[in-house]
Amino acid sequence: MASPHLRTPGTPSLLELCIKAATRDKSCVKAWRQKRRTFEMLPSELAHELFNSLLQSHLLSATLIGLFQSNLQEVNLSGEATVDGEWMAYLGGCRHLRALRATDCKALTNNAIRQLTGLTAMEELDLARCRKISDDAVPHILSFKMLRKLGLAETGLTTKGLLLLPGLSRLVLLDLGGCPVTDADLISFQALGMLEHLDLWGSKVTNMGARCLSSFKTLKYLNLAMTAVTAIPQLNSLLSLNLCNCDVESIYGDGTFSDSLLRELFLSGASLSLKDVISGSNTRNLHLLDLASSRVNDLDAFVHIPKLAILDLRATGLTNELMLKFQGLGDNLRWIDLSYTKIDSEGVGAIAGHAPNVEQLSLNHTPVDDNVFIYLVHFPVLQSLNLGGSKVNGFMTVGSEEFQQISVLSYLEQLQHLRRLDMRYTGVGDAALHGLKNLVQLSHLHIHSNSLSDECLQQLSSFPNLVCLGIGGATITADGLLSYKPPSLLEELDLTDCWLLTEPALLDFCEAHPRIMVWNEKTVPVTSSSKPRFNKKEYGDVVNGGLATSSTRQLLQAKLDMRKSSSKLSVKGRMQATKKAFNNTIGVGVTTKPLIVIDERIKYKKQELLQLRSADMSNFSIPNLRNLKDDLLKISRQNGEVRRKKV
């Protein structure tokens, strides 16, 4: 007999249904509040789920926190603009609270932090980017004797408050990024004997202060990005070092020691001599190396990194000649990013077969062409491939006299582990996609090209494992979209810049496939054949020579708020929000008639539409209006003569 606890995968549990019902809207919350529900006996895990559901639904208020005072242990209020002293006052009664993350809460002040001083169990506090937090908040923070993690990045702290922080002797993590930490402040931090994570990016620390870092025996993570530090002393316990945008001269001095544990080195945007920095330090355990946007003119130093697995060389100016040095990297390399470099197909061929275990390869915005597919088959375990912005179009021209085009995307069939493929902003069109027909294992596919049409949707409907599909810039029609039969696993469909699609078609598709999140930049145009009855009190300001009513301003503001809130809103959510905003502006007794719009684009062929879209309209003129000024003056004189005769 089947267990009563078993349920069909994908269906919500009874607990999830209860929480959803309790947090559906304000009326539901008000109902169970009036019954004076108490959560004292509620398990902590369940209380947190209910609390987070209220927070995500924007139904949580300061007074509601009082109901959870016996249960809450970890709270994340990051980005909530309404969080202020009142919220902190109620949180101050949560005697079991161990972790509070309130980053980007602009209304938090020093006095608000004072409301938390009774929380003796507090172990983690993150107030990053709370601009009103200053030195006066530090004495209140010192009352948390058990505090182990403290985040005060980009706050108003100065040396006055920073010198008090060594009083938190149990700290293992201290994030002061963007704060004016000086060498004297850093020297005072030596009293923090348990410190493992120190973040001082953008500080005023120099080499003088950096010398004291050797006394931090337990330090594992150090971030000195965007500082004046040029040399790092020997730190045997360090696992991760960030020197992005620094002028790096040396790391670990002459590198005579042999017990370095360093696994991650971030040098993005740094000015350095790679040979001097790498060969002068012990990097035998280095796993990740980030050199993005740095000048790389020699890769000989890579022989000192035998365990390198992740390599970021974006925007380094790398050329084909330097790629030959990759042949000595060994079998450990798993992830290579060559985006925005000068590497072409021949450069990829230089490392083909020498990095057989690469799982992720990015050639985004490089000059690689369709010849690259010949070399890609030598990466047998490749799982993710990014060719966006390259010269790929899916066909190769062969033959010296009679030119013939052959499909090259079919080469990818040999990559049986490939799951993610990105070919945005390439020349790939409908015909080229036939080469992908056997890549049924793909879960993520992104293409952005105006050479795609309705045909591509029909081809891609046969990919059973697609979870995310992006077809941008395509000339997809409403009929093509509505006839598309998406795979059963599809969760997201990105139709950005598909300018032929209409809002009704998008809405119909969303209603037919509610489980799929559809992305598109369009919003529902609000139209009406009849104007509302205007009241003098409703008249607004003159805008561009016309009158803007208060209802119009509300609608425009609603649209503006939606654009500000997210640069990538779902179609269905945007349509519903716009309709709701419009409905709220219609006065009582006003009737509207649906406006019937005939899509004039159906008169044109696909190629004509593309020509119209890119046509230069700057010199466009209407012949009948050239003499409009003279005609108006003539009519005005005639009217004047008529009036004089009447007088």
Q: Tens digit of pLDDT for each residue in 375-429?
A: 999 999 999 999 999 999 998 876 555 556 788 999 999 999 999 999 999 999 9
Residue 488's alpha-carbon distances to 416, 516, 571, 573, in angstroms, are 21, 10, 20, 22
Asked whether 142 and 167 are in contact (CB, 8 A), the reply is: yes
Q: In the prediction, which pLDDT does 30 show?
A: 75
CA angle, 254 as apex, 251 and 257 as ends, to 5°?
Answer: 95
Average pLDDT, integer, range 352-369: 93
pLDDT at 639 exceeding the cut of 90: no
Q: In whole angstroms, give the CA distance from residue 642 to residue 619.
A: 39
Neighbours of 412 (CB within 10 A): 20
Asked whether 397 and 404 are in contact (CB, 8 A), the reply is: yes
Higher pLDDT, 119 or 56: 119
The model's confidence at residue 345, banded by pLDDT at 50, 70 and 90, is very high
Asked whether 370 and 387 are in contact (CB, 8 A), the reply is: no
Q: In the prediction, which pLDDT does 565 show?
A: 45
Q: In the prediction, which pLDDT does 605 show?
A: 59
User: What is the value of pTM for the model shown?
Assistant: 0.76
Q: Where are the alpha helices (DSSP H) in 130-271?
A: 138-141, 159-162, 183-188, 207-210
Average pLDDT, integer, range 617-637: 56
Sign of torsion over alpha carbons 529, 533, 538, 543: positive
- Tell the burial category of 560 from Cβ atoms under 10 Å away from its Cβ (0-12, 13-18, 19+): exposed
What ranges do the domains of the chain cover?
A: 536-612
Q: In the prediction, which pLDDT does 615 show?
A: 57
Q: In whole angstroms, give the CA distance from residue 418 to residue 411.
A: 12
The model's confidence at residue 529, banded by pLDDT at 50, 70 and 90, is very low
Query: Tens digits of per-residue pLDDT, 240-266?
Result: 999 999 999 988 865 545 568 899 999
Q: In the prediction, which pLDDT does 248 show?
A: 93
Average pLDDT, integer, range 131-142: 96
